[in-house]
Amino acid sequence: MSPDGRYISPQLGTLSGEGSGQRIDQTTAAYPSSSAVWSERPSRSFESDEPTYYDRPVLKEAVWIWSVPAYFYVGGTAGAAAVLAASAQALGRGELDGLVRSCRWVAAIGGAVGTVFLIHDLGRPERFLHMLRVFRPTSAMSVGSWVLAGAASATMASALLSGQEGALGRLGDAAGYSAALLGMPLAGYTAVLLSSTAVPLWQVSRHSLPPLFIGSAMSGLASLFGLLPVELSAREERTVHRFGVAAKLIDLAAMAAVETKAAQVETVAKPLRQGVSGALWKAAKALTAASLALSLLPGKSGLRRKAVGVFGTAGALALRFAVFHAGKASARDPRATFRQQHSS
Amino acid sequence: MAECHPVGFRWVMEAKNRGAKIIHVDPRFTRTSAVADLHVPLRAGSDIAFLGGIVRYILENERYFREYVVHYTNAPVLVSEDFRDTDDLDGLFSGWDAEQGQYDPKSWQYEGAEVSPSAEQREMFTGEPYSERGTRHAGERFDDTLQHPRCVFQVLRRHFSRYTPEVVEEVCGVSTDQFLKVAETLCANSGRERTSAFCYAVGWTQHSVGVQYIRTAAIIQLLLGNIGRPGGGIMALRGHASIQGSTDIPTLYNLLPGYLSMPKARYDTDFDAYVRNNQAAAGWWTEFPKYIVSLLKAWYGDAARAENGWAYDYLPLISGDHSHMTTVSAMADGAVKGYFMLGENPTVGSMHGALHRKGMRELDWLVVRDFAVTETADFWRDAPEIERGEARTEDIKTEVFFFPCAAHTEKDGTFTNTQRLLQWHHKAVEPPGDCRSELHFIYHLGLRLKELYAGSTAVKDRPIHDLTWDYPTGGPHAEPDAEAVLAEINGFRVENRAPVAGFVDLQADGSTACGCWIYSGAYKDGANQTSRRKPRTEQSWVAPEWGWAWPANRRILYNRASADPEGKPWSERKSYVWWDAEKKRWAGHDVADFPADRPPSYRPPEGARGLETISGTSPFILQADGRGWLYAANGLLDGPLPTHYEPNESPIQNPLYGQQCNPVRLEWKRRDNPYHRAWKDPRFPFVLTTYRLTEHHTAGAMSRWLSWLSELQPEMFCEVSPELAQERGLENGGWATITTARGEIEARVLVTERVPAMKIGKQRLLQVGLPYHWGSKGRSRGDAANELIGFVADPNVSIQESKALTCDIVAGRRSRGRRIVTSGPLVPSTPDAPGLEGGRDLPEVGVREPGRHGVSSSHTQQNEES
Amino acid sequence: MGAVGFFTDTTICIGCKACEVACKEWNQLPDDGLLFTGMSYDNTGDLGASTWRHVSFIERPVPLTGQETGLGNFSWLLMSDVCKHCQRAGCLEACPTGAIIRTEFDSVYVQPDICNGCGYCVVSCPFGVIDRREDDGRAWKCTLCYDRLKGDMTPACAKACPTDSIVFGDLDELRVKARDRVERLHRHGVTEAYLYGADEASQPGTGGLNAFFLLVDKPEAYNLPPDPVAPARKSGSAWAAMTVSVLGMAAVALGAVLSSRRGARGEAEA
Ligand SMILES: Nc1nc2c(c(=O)[nH]1)N[C@H]1C(S)=C(S)[C@@H](COP(=O)(O)OP(=O)(O)OC[C@H]3O[C@@H](n4cnc5c(=O)[nH]c(N)nc54)[C@H](O)[C@@H]3O)O[C@H]1N2
Ligand SMILES: Nc1nc2c(c(=O)[nH]1)N[C@H]1C(S)=C(S)[C@@H](COP(=O)(O)OP(=O)(O)OC[C@H]3O[C@@H](n4cnc5c(=O)[nH]c(N)nc54)[C@H](O)[C@@H]3O)O[C@H]1N2
Ligand code: SF4
Ligand code: SF4
Ligand code: SF4
Ligand code: SF4
Ligand code: SF4
Ligand SMILES: [Mo]
């Protein structure tokens, strides 16, 4: 007998209803949650010219946990890495093999870790393979899953085969190129995934979120080299440096774009200004800017190289979490939904 | 109605869809109001003034259905010269006996005739049986012009003349134009072409003048010609699934099955006296002997013989008022030893839970049969006074027996609903574990009693020996066959047990037996008529083949009134039954509620007896005079006409006259049952009313144990107006404590315009609304509203006054300290507070000696009030 | 069997919650915890993973046309909400596993054994209907009583509704019924009455709802979105933006590599 009182004597039958599998452990659990007690006269929720239903959300906020924004970062970095690796391999005349190798490994590990993060978030991890049950173009997540699957294997192959001679080497290079082809969407589809939801903030920023995520992915990769214990040749250094500078410029530009777009509907932009998400957003901006500024200072100190890496990486991470939490907050606010739909 | 009878309300919505106007009169804006055309909020406890206003409107504007009124009601009958109305006596009718605190109805009689009511006579307890049921022929004097100053019509006109729209506004807080709108809508939708119906339930009954509320509605419906006609009537929306059944085959102490009155020790000394006191000389009740004899034959079989008065002596006699609250207070005084609680949870559901528990603490034994161990079953270890340390489990000697019961899905049987419709329900599954049906419990208890007394030769044990107790049993638990019981209720010929076709077959010579005459026909032809389920799409709109309605499968009572005196329908639109001149019979969509072959032209000859006395134009065949009673010359303890009295406790003084409350109301003047001052008690400034929620059922054992229902209304709450919330600093969703002299409870707060603040005269009146479903057990728990309500009741039917009283409310949760209400009032009975002297209410507290409980001698009120 | 659905006429709802209970009972759903919310008579709050029918209680300080109450400016709107079984269903379009399907009854159904709890449908429903449960980690919502429909039975909620506020049936017939009802109400002076989501024309974003409503106030009052859109409709521009961006990324990468060559202009500056 389940503690909530649903019961049917075994002699008489069994609980076979669609939801009979649902279990609740503590029967006193408050829902919609004790914070939802309406402390004003009910008709108050109606008195404003813009009624809501006791301020209850119209939408359900994302049920995802930390590993999803974390994946945004990891996956993005991996994608960017695959692309950079391929470019270096194509035009590096062999001078950038170190960079190629490390990028391939970053991409491979990123792909692997990312996959783990995603599975970790699933309500039914054991069924993660169902992601490849169908291919559904309307679902950014479906597309993304296939991309990730392909990218993960390609990057892994390219990494394992990097530095090999002859046939194996050529095979590795082929893998590298295909990894790059898949790495491009890998770095960007997560932005599409978010902006193709009903969440007002994510939806309104559907034009600016992709460049933002791409920029952040690139900057994340560039900054990573500031932290990784890899020896890069001078040319490799230059490559990464320029890649990073461009990345952070794109990143900052895209952030501005997101803000302006969101600001068209005041309430929609709110989460970017207030609360945890607001703080994270500001932090992301500051850190990226700082990282950019530092990287532009003349001279070559190892310490600065590290600082650029730390700020850049933190910025990239903060950005993903900022966007994630801002979206949750935006879904919680019924007025955001109403006003966004009226404005569009 | 939407709140408490949602399934029935389906048809109200259907009617609305077809253009019917829905008017909802209720202190609160409820789920019913939400879909009504017109919602009229009025002060709880003021309906008689409101309805009285409508009566006046009908009379003053000549809106009554004259032909109907003249022929079918007692409007033309002359009333005795001795009658004095409330206007003359400052709120009392003539015949008031201050010593006894009751009326002598002599002066209320018709001129030159004495009639008695169709229902059995409660007044026997408050005085000599005034008129044994129509021992004289009802030979009233008439004035069909309705002009005679003493004809009922004119008495009515004078009596209600004071209920002007202005008075209605002053008493009920209903604006004049809203009142007029209601009155006009009602009149506009009555008459030959149209009919209007009243639906009421306990918002009308649970008052110390409850019966008179319904009487006022009856007067309106009779004046408008809305009784006995399709789309008319007064629908008593009953309570528990078969509460109607439990009045027909009563759980009431003063009735035998079929509204035969319970023998009274003082008067019904033997069978002949009993029959003399109950048989009418005119009208259908002349058949009385057939019904009682057949009942006795059903119960005592061969032992019931003409020479022993059909074993009449076996019947228990009642010596006084044994109604619920009277019995419980006797219990509290140690005068009751044992108590059976079959399907009741009174410590939550009935008034004054604390007094109930006090009573049960005095019992030797208590039997509870229920689904769950209710608050009542657990009174000895789980109760407020035990939580507060005022009573200790160790000290309670009562032995409690708990029997799990079978649910309706686990047993065969009938439900009788609001419209007297019996519907059979079939057992779906065997009851689990030790659960057994009532039928099983009572039957096997009976068998064991018989066994226990088998050896006894004592005369007093004869009723047990001779009781017919032979129902076939079956199934794993030897369950008695419910259909066999229905067959006995239906009645049969003694010699061959052949089922009778209906009560017309019953005889007074012992040749027939019948368990309940009004149900006779339910097992016609040996077939269970109550289990018929023919869809309405496959039969006439009256659907006579769905279940079975008493009496004789009639769907509308007194339906002779749907035709004019000549027997023709009042209108095509409203035709229902009519006289078929060719066939010389009554024909129609329904079974005519009239002697089938009695022509409209028939007039009773001089000295007619029995059914011969029913004239061809008298639809109300159960009344000795065959007429609908606008004026009740007899049968009511608190006056022949309804008049507005304030509730036992009210924030305002009766605006109409000196008499504050119903003078005959039942009070229990006990230290443990304190009352507030009758009006303007400064300690209890607010009106308290109680009610139900769709999500829960009564005392909660059928809903608070279920998570699916509990989650919908998870906590006890009170409903207050924004004005009251502001005055007492109550926050929506927060806590409040509600107090009366009887008790104190806490509840969550719902602030809402739905429980409006009212203007009564110059006074602002604030009301507190409380659902009463909660108790200390089950999944959803909370304080019980009935801890607040004392014992006070209507004199006619002993129903409690739980719809209008006074209280106080403050923000915050209740104190957990000692309160000891059952050993003395919570607040001083004689408050030192100035301005409290003189108020009627404060009982000079005195515990009565056991045995003589119930009706209080009200002469003290009398002095103070008038 | 063709397309079926619900026409919920809120003007005859009496807020008895029989639908809510019938749904839970038939589907054996657990309660959502016992909490007093102070929101009129609504102690449920929302539709959710274990509440597939939800009755809203809206206390309005404004009168309802065609009704008169002594309270003056007050009315109480009652409405039973449910999954809309959208023609273009955000949840279905978002589901990567194909767990959400369109059934032979044109209803939107989550296959319990397929859903892997990715949670994408949750943010993709423009009505905030579907939700994921912590305990079993999968997404839940109204099934339109798929099991009952297959057994040729009326959905439990509609069956239980005493006033026929919830009408179940063939969609085309329902639409006709609904339009008649609106006209009737307009004739009786209830001029606010209108249909919400009855067809593609009135709600292009979702292509119309198989469970549509008759309302007498703006959608927001009932916590319904004024202009819901199946999100995938808008993803095209996002994909475009992404394509541009990733090509940009590739260009930057190639540029960085080229520009870093010894002798390349970039180097001198560096
Ligand atoms: N869901 C549900 N249904 C039930 C029950 C239940 O507990 N739950 N109980 C069943 C039983 S036993 C019964 S008896 C019936 C009772 O059915 P109802 O009589 O409908 O039940 P109540 O809610 O007690 O009272 C009805 C209304 O009377 C109003 N009222 C209070 N005082 C006054 C007054 O002075 N005048 C007027 N005009 N109205 C007043 C209250 O505000 C309330 O809205 O319901 C039956 N049906
Ligand atoms: N303040 C206030 N008080 C009121 C009222 C009010 O309006 N206001 N209303 C009054 C009215 S109208 C009523 S009817 C009473 C109701 O008061 P009660 O009758 O005391 O309350 P119920 O919960 O209906 O009790 C019925 C019990 O029978 C049990 N039961 C159900 N089926 C069966 C069965 O087949 N066999 C047995 N043995 N038990 C069964 C149920 O579990 C339940 O515990 O409350 C009255 N009290
Ligand atoms: S509970 Fe039973 S009796 Fe009451 S309304 Fe529902 S169906 Fe009718
Ligand atoms: S309402 Fe939401 S859950 Fe229901 S079908 Fe539409 S999108 Fe899916
Ligand atoms: S949670 Fe289940 S139903 Fe929802 S999108 Fe993911 S797989 Fe599909
Ligand atoms: S259709 Fe079935 S599942 Fe959907 S709400 Fe109604 S009862 Fe619940
Ligand atoms: S069952 Fe019908 S009337 Fe009752 S709440 Fe649900 S929709 Fe409204
Ligand atoms: Mo009742």
Report the residue from C37, C132, C222 with minimal CB separation from A63.
C132
Output the DSSP codes for B722-734.
Answer: HHHHHHHT--TTS
**Among all residues of chain A, which has the CA nearest to that of B428?**
A12
Would you place residue B245 in the very low, low, confident or very high pLDDT band (cuts 50, 70, 90)? very high
Nearest protein CA to atom 2 of ligand 5, as residue: C115
**Among all residues of chain A, which has the CA nearest to that of C250?**
A83
Residues in chain B, total:
866
Encode pLDDT of A138-174 as tens digits.
Answer: 999 999 999 999 999 999 999 999 888 889 999 999 9
CB atoms within 10 A of CB A319: 31
- Which of B21, B39, B185 would best serve as a mutation to test chain C binding (most C beta carbons within 10 A)? B39
State if residue B805 touches ligand 1 by the CB under 6 angstroms criterion.
no
Angle subtended by helix axes A302-332 and A266-273, to nearest 10: 140
Judged against a pLDDT cut of 80, whether residue B134 lies above it is answered with: no
Over chain A, what is the mean pLDDT? 91
Q: Which residues, numbered 75 to 114 in chain C, qualify as contacts with chain B under a Cβ-Cβ cut-off of 8 Å?
A: 75-78
Over chain B, what is the mean pLDDT? 90
State whether C38 and B750 contact (CB < 8 Å).
Answer: yes
Q: Give the per-residue pLDDT at C114.
A: 96
Instruction: Cis check for the bond before B551: say yes or no (omega within 30 of 0).
Output: yes
**Bigger pLDDT: B634 vs C61:** C61
State if residue B362 touches ligand 2 by the CB under 6 angstroms criterion.
no
Phi, psi for residue B120 in degrees, rounded to 5? -70, 170
* Percent of chain C clearing pLDDT 90 (strictly above): 90
Range from B170-184, B425-439, B809-823 carrying the lowest mean pLDDT = B809-823
Q: Which residues of B touch A37 (CB under 8 A)?
A: 733
Q: Mean pLDDT across the stretch B242-253? A: 93
Instruction: Cis check for the bond before B642: say yes or no (omega within 30 of 0).
Output: no
Q: Mean pLDDT across the stretch C127-152? A: 94
C-alpha distances (whole Å) from B19 to each of B14, B30, B184 are: 9, 21, 16
Judged against a pLDDT cut of 50, whether residue B842 lies above it is answered with: no
d(CA C66, CA B597): 49
B697 in C contact zone (CB under 8 Å)? no
Q: Which residues of A touch B429 (CB under 8 A)?
A: 12
Gyration radius of chain B over CA positions = 27
Judged against a pLDDT cut of 60, whether residue B864 lies above it is answered with: no
Q: How many CB pairs under 8 A join A and B?
A: 34
Q: What tokens were used for B395?
A: 């000290």
d(CA B347, CA B704): 15
**Among all residues of chain B, which has the CA nearest to that of C13?**
B35
Measure the N-to-C terminal CA separation of chain A; round to a whole number of Å: 50
Residues in chain A, total:
344
Residue B729, exposed/middle/buried by CB under 10 A (0-12, 13-18, 19+)? exposed
A13 in B contact zone (CB under 8 Å)? no
Report the residue from C34, C70, C74 with minimal CB separation from B714.
C34
Measure the N-to-C terminal CA separation of chain C; round to a whole number of Å: 73
Q: Give the per-residue pLDDT at B730.
A: 97
d(CA B561, CA A133): 74
Query: How many A from CA of C162 to the centre of ligand 3?
Result: 10
**Bigger pLDDT: B581 vs B844:** B581
- Whole-complex ipTM: 0.92
**β-strand B744-751 against C4-9: which pairing, if any?**
unpaired
Q: What tokens were used for A319?
A: 């950005």
The number of the ligand 4 atom at minimal distance from the alpha carbon of C142 is 4
State whether C96 and A16 contact (CB < 8 Å).
Answer: no
**Three-state secondary structure of B404-472:** EECCHHHCCEEEECCCCEEEEECCCCCCCCCCECHHHHHHHHHHHHHHHHCCCCCHHHHHHHHCCCCCC
Residues in chain C, total:
270
Q: What tokens were used for B689?
A: 């009313």
Encode pLDDT of B197-222 as tens digits.
Answer: 999 999 999 999 999 999 999 999 99
Torsion angle, alpha carbons of B500, B505, B506, B510, to 10:
-80
C-alpha distances (whole Å) from C249 to each of A153, B502, B587 are: 21, 96, 94
Would you place residue A14 in the very low, low, confident or very high pLDDT band (cuts 50, 70, 90)? confident
State if residue C117 touches ligand 5 by the CB under 6 angstroms criterion.
yes
Judged against a pLDDT cut of 80, whether residue A327 lies above it is answered with: yes
Range from A35-39, A83-87, B433-437, B794-798 carrying the lowest mean pLDDT = A35-39
**Among all residues of chain A, which has the CA nearest to that of C132?**
A63
Would you place residue B833 in the very low, low, confident or very high pLDDT band (cuts 50, 70, 90)? very low
The number of the ligand 1 atom at minimal distance from the alpha carbon of B202 is 19
State whether B714 and C35 contact (CB < 8 Å).
Answer: yes
Q: Which residues, numbered 27 to 86 in chain B, qualify as contacts with chain C under a Cβ-Cβ cut-off of 8 Å?
A: 29, 31-42
> Shortest CA distance to B40 belongs to which of B227, B223, B203?
B203
- Which of A132, A138, A204, A295 would best serve as a mutation to test chain C binding (most C beta carbons within 10 A)? A138
State if residue B11 touches ligand 3 by the CB under 6 angstroms criterion.
no
Phi, psi for residue B592 in degrees, rounded to 5? -60, 135
Encode pLDDT of B96-129 as tens digits.
Answer: 988 888 899 889 999 877 666 554 443 444 444 4
**Among all residues of chain A, which has the CA nearest to that of C227?**
A341
Q: Give the per-residue pLDDT at B835.
A: 47
Longest pairwise C-alpha distance within chain B:
80
State if residue C155 touches ligand 7 by the CB under 6 angstroms criterion.
no
Contact A214, A188 (CB under 8 A): yes
State whether B732 and A11 contact (CB < 8 Å).
Answer: no
Contact C128, C46 (CB under 8 A): yes
Q: Which residues, numbered 758 to 787 in chain B, qualify as contacts with chain C under a Cβ-Cβ cut-off of 8 Å?
A: 779-780
Range from B376-390, B648-662, B834-848 carrying the lowest mean pLDDT = B834-848
State whether C223 and A25 contact (CB < 8 Å).
Answer: no
State whether B754 and C71 contact (CB < 8 Å).
Answer: yes
Longest pairwise C-alpha distance within chain A:
83
Closest chain A C-alpha to B382 CA, distance in angstroms: 21
Q: Which residues of C touch B21 (CB under 8 A)?
A: none
Q: Give the per-residue pLDDT at A32.
A: 42
Q: Which residues, numbered 94 to 153 in chain B, qualify as contacts with chain C under a Cβ-Cβ cut-off of 8 Å?
A: none
A37 in B contact zone (CB under 8 Å)? yes
Phi, psi for residue A223 in degrees, rounded to 5? -65, -30
The number of the ligand 7 atom at minimal distance from the alpha carbon of C166 is 7
Encode pLDDT of B83-92 as tens digits.
Answer: 999 999 999 9
How far is residue C15 CA from its own chain's centroid?
A: 20
State whether C21 and B712 contact (CB < 8 Å).
Answer: yes
Query: How many A from CA of C218 to the centre of ligand 4?
Result: 20
The number of the ligand 7 atom at minimal distance from the alpha carbon of C164 is 2
Full-model pTM: 0.93
Q: Give the per-residue pLDDT at B866.
A: 25
Judged against a pLDDT cut of 60, whether residue B849 lies above it is answered with: no
Q: Which residues of A touch C226 (CB under 8 A)?
A: 338, 341-342
CA dihedral sign of residues B113, B118, B124, B125: negative
Closest chain A C-alpha to B357 CA, distance in angstroms: 29
Contact C52, C32 (CB under 8 A): no
Q: What amino acid occupies position B529?
A: Q
Q: Which residues of B502-537 are buried (b: 16+ CB within 10 A; e: fewer)?
A: bbebbbbebebbbbbbbbbbbbbeeebbbbbeeeee
Closest chain B C-alpha to C46 CA, distance in angstroms: 12
Report the residue from C67, C71, C163 with minimal CB separation from B41.
C71
Question: Strand, coil or helix: what is B689?
Answer: strand
The number of the ligand 5 atom at minimal distance from the alpha carbon of C114 is 7
State whether B706 and A37 contact (CB < 8 Å).
Answer: no
Would you place residue B606 in the very low, low, confident or very high pLDDT band (cuts 50, 70, 90)? confident
